[in-house]
Structure 1
């Protein structure tokens, strides 16, 4: 008997079947529902600072300048464990740790600069937390400057009264420095009929001391006049002002002629003449001669019509020593017209 030849199953067919089964198994696995644990997404808190840096500018020694900083959380709850400041002269206040900031919550705190020395200074505020950026910083800067003094003027309004047109009248004031020495560099008025004198500029006034000055009023027309006297200095503020007032009056139609006996004291250089308004009694005397009068005669041509006056004279020797008033002439009446 002849045996027939047996054929072997093709290997390709078996392999193809195995691949198909594997593919079905893969599809079934993909379409099935997983019974394993689900994945949780955690949103980490995020802190921001506003502003991101602080510049204090120039701050005088002995003073302090403060600014506010805002800390905001834009994520989940954040725990702030520490807030600190470094740098000479910088200070921190208004915040206590540990501190919890919930989502969208903000808090503010204060950073101050009180310079200890002149010159530039820098520092840093550092915030430590469990936020996405665990360390936040703010750059700080400032400049310490020499303590600025203050300059005051007295009186605040200087009244020069009635002055005859085309003549001049003067009044005195004073400047006082406080806190620190002040250097005055300029003194100007905004009306040329008022001028300032008696100061040699620039002049440095030590703290607690004063210097005098004079203002001259030289009206060109009749009527009231006013102006502002401005002093420029290195004080704080840098400009100090004084109000000036005066009235130009018509030339008088009357004069008062004065004469007196010469002083018998030795070394007499001349005489000063004083005048006061009279209203029931003699008022406060003011010197009316602008230079020392070397004779025993004087004509007062600055009297106002309808006014009464008192007059006195003093003697001045070569050592610039001045005597007391002479006999006083009272109630010298000037006619009204």
Structure 2
């Protein structure tokens, strides 16, 4: 009996160590990623782009991908349907779609939750792998003005002349005009309420006036600030002021002298 006790004391710790090693070996693997991030580059607003990332099971037992969640505006997980189970060394592709709704850079993450069995305990060990996401929404076209410059020609001092122009949103997304300012003596602008929201393809008419107070050539610009890809649109302005003219006669008087009744003289 004593010998049996000594034998047990020498072997029990080996059994415990073996059990720990078995548990550790079964749970030591993880989901291996071919990349730590997906960069979609530039994607047209209103369209979409889909990229894939390859993952593999580096574990010695099966791994189950149970969940994939995405953060970041415009990003979405597009497949495969979950859950899926990967056998040891098996690969799978995960797909993410980027569909920007506005221009500008966007960042996000893809979080993948996996589970693997811990030995024969019936328990699962859960882990999360994170993949960074990035992309830029681009908008074709720009905010355009017609005409692109306004020339008032010659205008008498003290008078006022007006010309009409049009702003057009030729992009594929809404544009907000936040400011319209004029430089140059004698020029003014009206017809652009702020803020001004223009849907794709929408136009807005505006008026520019030229009211010179002194003779000479005048030049300036109308600067339109917006959220369009061209954030500041400059429209050149020009005009020449002259002194108002008067109708005169030369000579100022005509004397016909003496003319016989019934006759004429030119």
State which structure, 1 or 2, has the greater radius of gyration over its C-alpha atoms: 1
TM-score (norm: length of structure 2)? 0.46
